[in-house]
Amino acid sequence: MLQFPAWKITLVLVLCLLGISFAAPNLGQDEWNVDGPGWLPGKKVSLGLDLQGGSHLLLKVDVDVVVRERLDAIVEVLRRELRKARIGYRELGVKGGAAGFVLRKPEDREKALEIVRSADQSTEAEIDDSGRARAVLTEQALADLKTSALQQSIEIVRRRIDETGVREPTIQRQGEDRILVQLPGIDDPERIKALLGKTAKMTFRLVDITSSAADAAAGRVPPGSVLMPADNPGPGEQASYVVKRRVMVSGDRLVDAQPGFDQRSGEAIVSFRFDAVGGKRFGKVTSENVNRPFAIVLDNKVISAPVIREPILGGSGQISGNFTVASARDLALLLRAGALPAPLTVLEERTVGPGLGSDSIDAGKLASIIGLILVLVFMTVAYGLFGLMADLAVLINIGLIIGALSALQATLTLPGIAGIVLTIGMAVDANVLIFERIREEMDLGRTPMAAIEAGYKRALTTIIDSNLTTLFAAMFLYSFGSGPIKGFAVTLAIGIVTSMFTAIMLTRMLIVIWLRRRKPDALPI
């Protein structure tokens, strides 16, 4: 245990200097390595919502909309198949959580039942004696649909927030239909709420030229069409359009969207590009409908309805409208991130000011300083020179913890500060066990070298066992905890690793160097 070759001393010193160099930027006001490689020292510790301030949003996913859309899709399948089979029906639509219709002729019952059953495999279908047909989603299908909608919503929310450049956001599921969003450093959540509040479902549909918006407003909407309002119409533009229900090209085929400017008019636009399948479909639709208006629909509002002048075969195009530079940029962001499967509603909103975060940091610093001073004083009084060596190891241990947090860009929260304060005390536990064991060996009459050798060798197993159990606890807290619990677990785990290093390697190195130079007859412990 007292063999400390030169390479091992060099390794310990390099690790200590590296940790301190990563921690050093936190002493200044600004980061040193803003634009450089992420692995170089220069980044400060990333502060969490409770320390930096920011926004806290609790969102609800309207999963009922997803169920309704699934039933509407079943209705469209039924409409098409019933017409193809020449089966008369009435009252086709969604009612009471089921897609259904009423048969005009009872003799078509068996054929209609087969169509209803084949419309969607995840439904239970029936036709009663009065000829009313119903297709209801099974319990398993409903559960799968809602779970999928929530998971997809979390992923889309994450993409949208990442596009805004927010660092270290917390986005996680709460309950069956809620999403918790915490955004450190964001004190004005209005833009984020606007981005998250848009479903951003884009579709490309043909305008129904057989009916006018006035007729549709009067209730005369042709079958298979729907009246949709225009989004922010300009002077002289239509306030609403009659568009086909059938989606010609879906926005989920978009692979890129970027804001830009039209070279002729100079107005803000959004350029988009489809994948191979979407581009082929878009080219086919535009080829077959030249000189016909083509509606671009976003969240059930027509943002543009240009006339197709010629086939668009390149798989790309542009959206023009009454865009500002900011709105074009946000629309491009939404299209790149993808559409939400269901609307989001803000249930709870809180803004944590930077002043409160500053107070938390000051309180954490005060607690850390008081705890550190008490530990340093106790070790010096109890173990003399060896205690001073342990104190030096504790100070370097704190530098290593801060350096590791900076290098990993892990988020430091208020419970994380509590974890650091805890590891300050834990950092000397190993040294206390070793020093007490050395005292026992000295009382048994061993020489200083033999006492130190036995103290480290016999205390090592106990030290490793106790620290491993705490490390396992930290791992479980991180795996099953959330938010602040994860922050506590991270700092605790890092503190355990660094305290093991400083207690077993650094303090032992200092003692060995002292022993070799002084060769004392007695130990000052």
Per-residue model confidence (pLDDT) at position 327: 82
Is the same domain home to 261 and 337? yes
Domain boundary among 294, 327, 350: 350
Q: What is the CATH number of the domain that holds 11?
A: 1.20.1640.10
The single residue listed with the structure tokens 């200083």 is: 448
**Would you list the DSSP string of 121-187?**
TTEEEEE-TTSEEEEEE-HHHHHHHHHHHHHHHHHHHHHHHHHHT-SS-EEEEETTTEEEEEEET-S
How far is it, in rounded angstroms, from Cα 58 to Cα 48? Answer: 17
Is the same domain home to 127 and 216? no
Report DSSP state, residue 481: -
Q: Which helix (H) or strand (E) holds 411?
A: strand 411-412
Residues contacting 474, CB < 8 A, separation 6+: 489, 490, 492, 493, 496
Is the same domain home to 390 and 413? yes
CB 149 within 8 A of CB 123: no
Q: Is residue 436 part of a domain?
A: yes
CB 203 within 8 A of CB 304: no
Domain boundary among 100, 121, 142: 142
Q: Is residue 178 part of a domain?
A: no
Q: Is residue 372 part of a domain?
A: yes
Q: Is residue 174 part of a domain?
A: no
Per-residue model confidence (pLDDT) at position 40: 58
Is the same domain home to 475 and 374? yes
R_g of the chain computed on alpha carbons: 34
Q: Is residue 180 part of a domain?
A: no
Per-residue model confidence (pLDDT) at position 73: 86
Q: What is the CATH number of the domain that holds 131?
A: 3.30.1240.20
pTM above 0.75, yes or no: no
Q: Which two tokens stand for residue 7?
A: 């390479």
Domain that holds residue 239: 198-350
Report the DSSP beta bridge partners of residue 174.
Answer: 178
CB 306 within 8 A of CB 292: no
Is the same domain home to 264 and 228? yes
Determine if residue 212 is left, alpha or beta; phi over 0 gives left, psi from -120 to 50 gives alpha, anything else beta: beta
How far is it, in rounded angstroms, from Cα 187 to Cα 55? Answer: 6
Q: Is residue 187 part of a domain?
A: no
Is the same domain home to 44 and 70? no
Number of domains forming the structure of the chain: 3
Q: What is the CATH number of the domain that holds 346?
A: 3.30.1360.200
Is the same domain home to 210 and 326? yes
Residues contacting 520, CB < 8 A, separation 6+: 448
Is the same domain home to 327 and 371? no
CB 304 within 8 A of CB 293: no
SS3 269: strand
Is the same domain home to 420 and 431? yes
Is the same domain home to 369 and 291? no
CA distances from 285 to 207, 274, 276, 309 (A): 13, 14, 14, 12
Q: How many CB atoms lie within 10 A of CB 235?
A: 5
| pLDDT tens, per residue, the chain with 525 residues | 567 788 888 898 999 998 888 888 887 655 555 454 555 566 788 777 777 777 888 999 998 888 888 898 898 889 889 988 889 998 898 888 899 999 998 888 888 888 989 888 888 888 888 889 999 999 998 888 888 888 888 888 888 888 777 766 788 888 888 998 888 877 667 777 887 877 778 889 999 988 888 888 888 888 888 899 988 777 777 889 999 988 888 887 888 888 888 877 788 888 888 888 888 888 999 999 988 988 888 888 888 888 888 888 888 888 877 778 888 888 888 888 777 888 888 888 877 665 555 676 677 778 778 888 888 899 899 888 999 999 999 899 989 999 988 888 777 877 888 888 888 777 788 888 888 888 888 888 888 888 888 888 888 888 888 888 889 998 988 888 766 788 888 888 998 999 888 888 898 889 888 888 888 877 877
Query: Helix (H) and strand (E) counts for the chain?
Result: 15, 19
Per-residue model confidence (pLDDT) at position 356: 55
3-state percent breakdown (helix, strand, coil) of the chain, nearest 5: 55, 20, 25
CA distances from 148 to 162, 187, 202, 441, 457 (A): 21, 31, 20, 64, 55
Q: Which two tokens stand for residue 133?
A: 């047909």
Is the same domain home to 382 and 472? yes
The sign of the torsion formed by the CA atoms of 249, 251, 255, 256 equals: positive
Q: Is residue 68 part of a domain?
A: yes
- Measured in whole angstroms, how far is the alpha carbon of residue 304 from the centre of its chain? 32
Residues contacting 245, CB < 8 A, separation 6+: 76, 205, 224, 225, 226
Domain boundary among 350, 373, 408: 350
Q: Is residue 310 part of a domain?
A: yes
Residue 69 buriedness (CB in 10 A; 0-12 / 13-18 / 19+): middle
Report DSSP state, residue 503: I
Is the same domain home to 219 and 341? yes
